[in-house]
Structure 1
């Protein structure tokens, strides 16, 4: 079987009150339906990661945000032939109305880290929350 690598970018979109945006994957989604994640997706071949993130955020939420800096990278080899890399960028919410793409997500919430811990979530979001907890305990 051919081995391949996939790079995805996701947005930690923070609000003024310290919460961040999570979206619930649609029940018709092929990958982890009904799990929470943060907006983002795959970087296409030749695409700049920040441009990919802007595109994905807009496709999934209708929002335009200020992309600040990468804050976390998570890497995982899956089934010995797929290497997945997630780059999480800190983003600033600039306002506007969230308009979810129902084929991808059917719910959104603004949550703090404690609230996010209680949600069923995909692996890189779980790892990001662990990282935040480690930073706070130092």
Structure 2
């Protein structure tokens, strides 16, 4: 049984695929976790939310995009601090609109629609390892 100083956080992330590219967003330099790093949009679920509803809300808040959550691609868990475990469930998403205007929240400073080679360059090693292990770089339609 966990003690009161232990917590488990559940988060959802979206691999947003559009015209052969995946959207990455860059965390602000002042962010307490992963400052300045590139990631897929997403965040923590709120009490009572379904996974897909939380994902769609987080992506809309962070990027201004409305997406469909097609399917779960993979899930991982990691210890981010003593007594803090994060479970991340990553979905394949597609934007609902054809003309995409990304409107970043204050949590992020930049965005890019990336090819596979750009993903390898920008993403942290842990995420590229997860992408490789779970076949994300082999998604149908993703540009090299």
TM-score relative to the length of structure 2: 0.82
Counterpart of 1:97 (choices 98, 101, 121) is 101
Q: CA RMSD in A?
A: 2.0
Does structure 1 retain, via aligned residues, the 8 Å contact 2:74–2:134?
no
Change (3 A) 1:84 1:69: same
Per-residue deviation, residues 85-138 of structure 1 (Å, max 9, x unmatched): 10000001233311001x211110111222111115373x333322255985xx
Deviation for aligned residue 1:66: 1.3
5+ residue gaps, structure 1, are none
After the TM superposition, which segments of 4 or more aligned residues of structure 1 sit over 6 Å from their partners? Answer: none
**Which residue in 1 is equivalent to 2:13?**
10
CA distance in 1, matches of 2:59, 2:50: 14
1:102-117 mapped onto 2 (5 Å cutoff): 103-117=106-120
Count of residue pairs brought into register by the alignment: 133
Per-residue deviation, residues 48-103 of structure 1 (Å, max 9, x unmatched): 111111110010000001110100111113444112110000001233311001x2
